[in-house]
Chains A and B, each alone.
Chain A
Amino acid sequence: MEFPTQSSPYLPLSNDLNRLMVQVMLALIPGALCMIWFFGWGVLFNLLIATTTTVAAEAIMLKLRNRPVMATLSDGSAVLTGLLLALALPPLAPWWIPVIGALSAIIVAKQLYGGLGYNPFNPAMVGYVILIISFPLQMTLWSSPRGLEAEFLSFIDTLRMVFTQTLADGVILDGVTMATPLDASKTELGLNLTWSEILSSPLYGSFAGHGWEWINTTFLIGGVWLWQKRAIDWRIPLGMLSALFLVSLLFYIADADSFGSPIFHLFSGASMLGAFFIATDPVSAATTPRGRLYFGAGIGILTYVIRTWGGYPDGVAFAVLLMNMAAPTIDYYTQPRVFGHRDPGDS
């Protein structure tokens, strides 16, 4: 009897790229729902517009590059890039903001480098950074979080705002948008207010920004679930969060009036989304075990530096891209000791 031959090993494989991507998407759901709850329909529009654009852009690029379109699209990476980008965008931004961001992410940051696996930078963060540098004004259009709003925009009103940039009669833009706590605190510190004065504003909740604290908590829950499923490695999130915590603690101890508390930093802006979902993008991250700790720690430190002394409201995106640049070097210097060798360098 004849049999087909193959190369070892032969057992059914235990992991699957597609399943991995789906797990990450599932883990985003609690955080995304929480964002929709606090910031309204705009978040949903961003998600829909961004993912549609990333998938379309990926399909077109694959076609142009003569690659199998459906087989590659089914890995889910394009959808995931769209989701992550959308969750970083202001909910009332005009429709072309997620479109441009998504196109930049897929075409420039991903496909021009050779597609999945070959991109040196995190595509979603490249998209975000292009947007925030090119369209700083549109990138501040954060709706007021539920509980603080003068008027919560309805589905139709949001739709109109996103697609025509107009509001219903009698509603003014300032009434429906609000600076994020990270942004506001920076402005107020510039006005020589102390942290205790800043925190007394209703913009702040129980331990960080109103709404943001819960959004970060839900992303944290999703992230821990991902780690439990072994979809992500614990080293990058732990490295990033502990570095962010330690650096902010240091400054907080030195001068509690001028610097935010460690808890504030951990639960503000894109801290948790960045730690568990963005920095962990394995393609652009460091890949050695020790290297991943350093990579995460670098992002944590840079995030704090950019938030505290930089010109942008949040630092996660820039920190991730800067550390992406450092990843090959980190990998080179953090090779593990191979069995039977005295140290990593010997041959």
Chain B
Amino acid sequence: MVTILEQALKIHGGLRLDANKSPSLRAPLRRARIPERLFVPLSQHIGEIADPLVAVGDSVLKGQPIARSYSYISAPVHAPTSGSVIDIGAYPIPHPSGLKADCIVIEADGEDRAAPSGLRMDDVFAADPADIRQRVRDAGIVGLGGAGFPTSVKLNPGPGRDVELLVINAAECEPYISCDEALMCARTQEVIDGVRIMRHALHARQAVIGIEDNMPNAIACLRNGLDEAGAADIRVIAIPTIYPAGGEKQLIYTLTGEEVPSQGLPIDLGIVCHNVGTAAAVGRALVQGEPLISRVVTVTGAGVRQPANLVTRIGTPIAELIEQCGGYSDKVTRLLMGGPMMGISLPSDALPVIKTTNCILAASQQEAPQALSAHPCIRCGKCAEVCPASLLPQQLYWYAHARNFDKAQDYKLFDCIECGCCAQVCPSHIPLVQYYRFAKTEIWNQERERDKADIARQRHEFHLQRLEREKKELQERRAKAKKALNKPKAGNADSKKAEIAAALERVKARKASQSVAARNTDNLSEEQQAKIAEIDNRRASSTDENRP
């Protein structure tokens, strides 16, 4: 039984960071221009990569599915605007690996003609949850908070599992990012529609929106909207502003006092958690019929002249967005996607906006300085003070550094959420999160290797077993044959005679058939017939002579 606490709790540790949200909130939310070319990656989500449904040269309409996968954990991709497909191939995408991935490149025709989507549901609150899930899936909706997990999967609690509480994550705890705040103020109705639809689809008994208390405007917008919609039983709870209060497990703890078990999921507690942007996308898809082809992106930082929040079509190159925000200022030294704590550092602004792009941070040297050289760890324990998972980062570092991965796992390495608090306060400037990522990757690799080795060993064992079995069978067969050979020796002479007679019979039959076959000749000339007759006579006489 989960109860929503009257007073939100404070997480363990965490950091009070300067929010820096105001620069991007000064201008109202506006639509970004549709660029001439859009680069739409086939994989913008966790799960199977979608397969293209279009070919180079095809013309597409806005909202038309252009790639999909039949795998359960996957999401389709839609054309963000109308135009023609000019290429399908590998282009750089925003990903920590820095590698290229397959994209569909669309040249916009500027008409922005929409395809009929069939996503709209007139009576959504009477609809079957399975139907809602299918449409959410068809709309290509994934978690917009950053992870990109297919939303339809998270709307399916599984058989026999009751959902007590739907938690909507509107905490937006990372500095600089304000896309959710802008969304909640400007598109309150979509958010509320989405939350109500999700609640209905999950049959969740209660629903709560958790939002950091430094967003009074958004809180007021939501509360008013909920009152107007007659959904005042969906509660909006202001939580203490502390990073990372918006981590899924941290938010659930803050609101309910319950801890999601290690290696477990919120559903283990009867809770499902969705991002507020995702809820708005669900609302937009099922009420207005528009699939996920755009999202709100915060463009901010001292490196850009006019920070703002922009409704951006998926696939828009980042450089276009920067240009629409007045271009770079002289101070820009680094380009980040996401926030300054967990975001990824981009090598170039030619990369496209994808479904999980919540923020483009063009940072100055002051905002995101170059990494300082690291000193040895002095075990001061400041990292442990701020760790929201109550880990001992100094010990994890010690063992990760020494490649003692078993010990690192004993110290609960996999409960680390990589929030970066530890690295942020480390007086020795050790890039702690990097060490943890390294250790996790090494452990995964080792496990994969072990699995491979296990399979190879099993196959080898099967192989040996089969050889053994075949040897045994052979021996058995031989033993049988031997027995069979031994038997006639002891048997009567009649059987031998009969065998010989049978053999003779077989030879005769063959001969007869041969002679028949040789006669298989019609329409021959008389000369030929005479020759054949002669040969036949000779053969017959010789056979008679040779017969013993």
A→B interface (CB under 8 Å): 1-17, 19-20, 71, 75, 115-118, 233, 282-283, 285, 287-289, 292, 331, 335-341, 347
B379 touches A117 (CB 8 A): yes
Knowing A15-B382, A282-B378, A341-B262 touch, does A8 contact B343 (C-beta < 8 A)?
A: yes
List B residues 101-143 near A (Cβ within 8 Å): none
CA distance A287 to B387 in the complex (A): 14
CA distance A16 to B426 in the complex (A): 7
Can you list 5 residue pairs at the A/B interface with Cβ under 8 Å?
A: A3-B347, A10-B336, A11-B175, A336-B384, A338-B389
Q: In chain B, what residue has the closest Cβ to A346?
A: B262
**Among B263, B319, B371, B377, contact of A117 (Cβ-Cβ < 8 Å):** B377
Q: Which residues of B contact A340 (CB under 8 A)?
A: 249, 259-264, 389, 415
How many whole Å from A88's CB to the nearest CB in chain B? 21
How many whole Å from B380's CB to the nearest CB in chain A? 4
B412 touches A338 (CB 8 A): yes
CA distance A71 to B249 in the complex (A): 41
Size class of the contact patch on chain B: 35 or more
How many whole Å from A137's CB to the nearest CB in chain B? 36
A71 touches B373 (CB 8 A): yes
A7 touches B262 (CB 8 A): no
Q: Which residues of A contact B267 (CB under 8 A)?
A: none
Mask for B323-366, Cβ within 8 A of A = 1, else 0? 00000100001111000111111111100000000000001001
**Among A12, A13, A337, A339, contact of B366 (Cβ-Cβ < 8 Å):** A12
Q: Which residues of B contact A331 (CB under 8 A)?
A: 395
A339 touches B388 (CB 8 A): yes
CA distance A148 to B325 in the complex (A): 76
**Among B249, B335, B380, B392, contact of A339 (Cβ-Cβ < 8 Å):** B249
A-B contact count (CB 8 A): 163
How many whole Å from B252's CB to the nearest CB in chain A? 10
Q: Which residues of A contact B412 (CB under 8 A)?
A: 338, 341, 347
CA distance A117 to B429 in the complex (A): 14
Q: Does B431 contact A (CB under 8 A)?
A: yes
List B residues 415-440 near A (Cβ within 8 Å): 415, 418, 420, 423-429, 431, 433-434, 437
List B residues 71-115 near A (Cβ within 8 Å): 98
Q: In chain B, what residue has the closest Cβ to A230?
A: B382
Knowing A17-B427, A283-B378, A340-B261 touch, does A3 contact B346 (C-beta < 8 A)?
A: yes
B371 touches A6 (CB 8 A): yes
3 tightest Cβ-Cβ pairs between the two chains A and B: A117-B376, A9-B420, A340-B262
B378 touches A117 (CB 8 A): yes
**Among A16, A17, A117, A288, contact of B384 (Cβ-Cβ < 8 Å):** A288
Q: Does B404 contact A (CB under 8 A)?
A: no
Q: Which residues of A contact B263 (CB under 8 A)?
A: 340
How many whole Å from A193's CB to the nearest CB in chain B? 45
A17 touches B375 (CB 8 A): yes
Knowing A17-B375, A282-B378 touch, does A337 contact B328 (C-beta < 8 A)?
A: no
B12 touches A339 (CB 8 A): yes
Q: Does B491 contact A (CB under 8 A)?
A: no
Q: Does B405 contact A (CB under 8 A)?
A: no
Q: Does B17 contact A (CB under 8 A)?
A: yes
Knowing A4-B334, A338-B415 touch, does A14 contact B424 (C-beta < 8 A)?
A: yes
Q: Does B270 contact A (CB under 8 A)?
A: no
CA distance A116 to B98 in the complex (A): 36
A287 touches B394 (CB 8 A): yes
Q: Which residues of B contact A15 (CB under 8 A)?
A: 382, 425-427
Q: Does B289 contact A (CB under 8 A)?
A: no
CA distance A5 to B427 in the complex (A): 22
CA distance A6 to B372 in the complex (A): 11
A9 touches B341 (CB 8 A): yes
CA distance A341 to B390 in the complex (A): 10
Q: Which residues of A contact B428 (CB under 8 A)?
A: 17, 117
Q: Which residues of A contact B411 (CB under 8 A)?
A: 335
Q: Does B391 contact A (CB under 8 A)?
A: yes
B375 touches A116 (CB 8 A): yes
CA distance A12 to B260 in the complex (A): 32
A20 touches B380 (CB 8 A): yes
Q: Which residues of A contact B47 (CB under 8 A)?
A: none
Q: Does B204 contact A (CB under 8 A)?
A: no
Most A C-beta atoms less than 10 A away, residue of B349, B370, B412, B426: B412
Q: Does B287 contact A (CB under 8 A)?
A: no
CA distance A337 to B253 in the complex (A): 15
List B residues 270-322 near A (Cβ within 8 Å): 319
CA distance A19 to B378 in the complex (A): 14
Question: Apart from A6-B345, A15-B427, A287-B395, what are 15 other A-B pairs with CB-CB below 8 Å?
Answer: A5-B345, A8-B340, A8-B341, A8-B342, A11-B17, A11-B175, A17-B429, A117-B377, A233-B381, A282-B378, A285-B379, A338-B262, A338-B390, A339-B388, A340-B262
A7 touches B433 (CB 8 A): yes
How many whole Å from B236's CB to the nearest CB in chain A? 25
A1 touches B371 (CB 8 A): no
Q: Which residues of B contact A292 (CB under 8 A)?
A: 381
A11 touches B341 (CB 8 A): yes
